[in-house]
Amino acid sequence: MKKIIIILFVLTILLVGKNDTKEILIPDKAIRFRIVANSNSIEDQQEKMVIKEKLEKEIYELINKEKTENIENTLQNNMDKIKEIIDSYNVSYDINYGLNYFPVKHYKGVLYPAGNYESLVITLGEGLGDNFWCVLFPPLCLLDNEVQDTSEVEYQLYVKKLLDKF
């Protein structure tokens, strides 16, 4: 009987403690980035990731120099560069910059609410495969690469620090 009481007490503390933590919300002004693969074949998924890596680097260099209020214009004004990168892979694609729907996502204690967000969406081929997505601004795409092996709490601290900066 004592064991059951102790277990219930510990579970209650864990549940109460979990509810006291505040989730970090990504701001409405965030700009998201998505690449949808042609299919779920290994080749198409690899192609998606190679293009993603190349685009992330280029886009980060473009927006890293800009002030917050200029990022949308910078992306729109550099669509030719983005298309040139994708064209080098000889794949059909559709590119859309504007409001696009994203479902709710929880990742390492950070809440990415569902909704229509300013975003750059690239659909490769038929667009029937799994997608990659991240937040371009604030620049959380690159943050995830830097802190992959951290705990959920450490990731939240990195995200909070970055969001406070913007």
Question: pLDDT of the chain along its 166 residues, tens only?
Answer: 666 555 555 555 555 544 444 566 666 778 889 999 999 999 999 999 999 999 988 888 888 766 666 788 888 999 999 999 999 998 999 999 999 998 888 766 777 888 898 999 999 999 999 999 888 877 777 555 444 555 555 545 545 555 555 5
Over its C-alpha atoms, the chain yields an Rg (Å, rounded) of 19
- Has residue 37 been placed in a domain? yes
Asked whether residue 17 is domain-assigned, the answer is no
121: alpha, beta or left, given left = phi > 0 and alpha = psi -120 to 50?
beta
Which tokens is 32 given? 């998201």
Task: Answer whether residue 3 is part of any domain.
Answer: no
Is 9 part of a structural domain of the chain?
no
> 0.75 cut: is pTM over it?
no
Whether residue 2 lies inside any domain: the answer is no
> What strand order describes the sheet that includes 31-36?
93-102, 115-124, 31-36, 131-137
Number of domains in the chain: 1
Residue 134 lies in a domain: yes
Q: Which residues contact 163 (CB under 8 A, 6 or more apart)?
A: 24, 26, 27, 138
**CA distance linking residue 148 with residue 155, whole number of Å:** 8
Range of the domain at 115: 28-165
Evaluate whether residue 15 is within a structural domain: no
Instruction: Tell me the residue type at 11.
Output: L
Residue 21 in domain: no
